[in-house]
Structure 1
């Protein structure tokens, strides 16, 4: 049996889909939500599909950079981006927003893109730089996604 390559977590937030989307799609704030991401630098704004960025990540003593590209940016519906390192794909992260009652169901998704040529190298780089081997990445990401969604929900209710 192969390793798990996709995760999904969701939460209901007491805010409109467009408001929650604006929180998530403002990439420089990603460090406020994610327990691993510390900073995001976006060289050109506004953020839309095709926008490139650089992320600085940290988990414990491990620090690493990733490059990213926004693949979908539909206000109030979806915000998705791909991250990689040295031109090799690592993951696709996504957020979907759906009205639910008087709030919004926010669903965060993660897809492991370390397949094909370069997969072995990106697995090694993840272990060396992020301190997480591919088998452990699932648990780390699930915990991180739950933390991220809780922080977004808290910020959305304050806004």
Structure 2
């Protein structure tokens, strides 16, 4: 596949030497995301600890000179298995982000996944907003997300394995 060919979903995974319940507690505590993500700088509007299905929060992000915020809602909160949230901007769907957990012999396989939801009736509007706010063209957003996922997962792994 051509790396600049638009992809609508990507995922990355890493093995973490920690039990699935501990990994889940970390990724479901969305306020911690700013420690791991290269784009997320803060999360507000949700209490510390694992967020539950339906919980809403605001993510604040930065990439170089670009700064933007998104509205998020937890869509799946299955301890030890899966945690996901939908991202929107001004009420329009942008993406689905999540973490699947699979216990393995000495730890957990953590897969971070992203699906672009900028489709349908308002797809062009949210694609244009994404380019304006983030400085990233929609056809290469998956490349930025893959790199960000690798960084996020590596930082998460290091933090959990150092405890």
TM-score by length of 2: 0.93
Query: Is the 1:44–1:51 Cα contact (8 Å) retained in structure 2?
Result: no
What corresponds to 2:126 in structure 1? Answer: 122
Query: Is the 2:37–2:148 Cα contact (8 Å) retained in structure 1?
Result: yes
Query: Is the 2:56–2:71 Cα contact (8 Å) retained in structure 1?
Result: yes
Which residue among 106, 113, 122 is the counterpart of 1:109?
113
Q: Secondary structure at the match of 2:144?
A: helix
Q: Provide the C-alpha distance between the structure 2 equivalents of 1:156 and 1:79, rounded to a whole number of angstroms.
A: 17
Q: Provide the C-alpha distance between the structure 2 equivalents of 1:124 and 1:20, rounded to a whole number of angstroms.
A: 35
Which residue among 71, 78, 82 is the counterpart of 1:78?
82
What corresponds to 1:56 in structure 2? Answer: 60
Unaligned runs of 5+ in 1: none
Q: Provide the C-alpha distance between the structure 1 equivalents of 2:101 and 2:46, rounded to a whole number of angstroms.
A: 26
Q: Secondary structure at the match of 1:142?
A: helix
TM-score by length of 1: 0.96
Q: Provide the C-alpha distance between the structure 1 equivalents of 2:47 and 2:92, rounded to a whole number of angstroms.
A: 22
Quote the offset at 1:158 in angstroms. 1.4
Query: Is the 1:51–1:70 Cα contact (8 Å) retained in structure 2?
Result: yes
Which residue among 93, 96, 111 is the counterpart of 1:92?
96
Query: Is 1:136 aligned with 2:143?
Result: no
RMSD over aligned Cα, in angstroms? 1.5
| 1:22-33 matched pairs, under 5 angstroms | 22-33=25-36
Q: Provide the C-alpha distance between the structure 2 equivalents of 1:43 and 1:96, rounded to a whole number of angstroms.
A: 21
What corresponds to 1:145 in structure 2? Answer: 149
Quote the offset at 1:43 in angstroms. 3.9
Q: Provide the C-alpha distance between the structure 1 equivalents of 2:39 and 2:88, rounded to a whole number of angstroms.
A: 15
Aligned residues, how many? Answer: 159
